[in-house]
Structure 1
Amino acid sequence: MTREQYEPVALNVEATRKRWRKEPAFASAYDALADEFAALAELVRARQRAELTQADVAERMGVAQASVARLEASAGSRKHAPSMATLRRYADAVGCELRITLAVKRKERHRAV
């Protein structure tokens, strides 16, 4: 009896995204969620910069690790938008302050010049 070895396949996320963006439906849906993806990435980057696990953040926030996982994933789901209080608690837990900015849309920025 031979034992098969699992050989993981590396996923190049950027190359995959570029390939999928060639599909108009995917590109449109992805662009519609751009701000949510940016928020998610910022949460995860802040936690990683602080060298904390989700469990570490959860402990500091006084919540379950699953709550932190759900918070980090909620940005792209549109099913649950975290409150400002929750985002402040997360920011505090990872040693950051919460800042929200509004930026002129790219199309409008071009016209205003």
Structure 2
Amino acid sequence: MNHSELKKKALQKKNVQLAYDALEPEFSLLRELLQARQKAGLSQAEIAERMGTKAPAVTRLESSLSSGKHSPSIATLKKYASALGCHLEIKLVADY
């Protein structure tokens, strides 16, 4: 069974689907961070240098968003965005 098949099977379970959906904001932010870094042509080490930190910190930041184990601070996300020549926008979107 490959990853796609396993994911499809797992998401048929309601509790798994609910947990997966709850992580969408983190996954969305992670996609944006990775796409911006790729577009800028920068490595994690280069981002870390621009942020004034070490590469493992950037690795932890990026992986924390996919694991849901840690939520980075707004200050850290601002530093990451700035290192890419971007700015951070945070919005509240009504569910109704």
TM-score (normalizing by structure 2): 0.84
Question: Using the alignment, how far apart are the partners of 1:79 and 1:21 within structure 2?
Answer: 20
> 1:47 is matched with which residue: 37, 42, 55?
37
Could you tell me which residue of structure 2 aligns to residue 33 of structure 1? Answer: 23
Give the paired residue count.
95
> 1:62 is matched with which residue: 42, 47, 52?
52
Question: Which structure has the larger Rg over C-alpha atoms?
Answer: 1
Mark the runs of 5 or more structure 1 residues left unpaired by the alignment: 1-10, 109-113
Question: Using the alignment, how far apart are the partners of 1:41 and 1:16 within structure 2?
Answer: 21
> 2:92 is matched with which residue: 84, 88, 102?
102
Counterpart of 1:34 in structure 2: which amino acid?
E
Q: In structure 2, the residue corresponding to 1:75 is in which secondary structure?
A: helix
Could you tell me which residue of structure 2 aligns to residue 23 of structure 1? Answer: 13
% same residue: 46
Mark the runs of 5 or more structure 2 residues left unpaired by the alignment: none
Runs of 4+ in structure 1 off by over 2 angstroms are: 15-20, 76-80
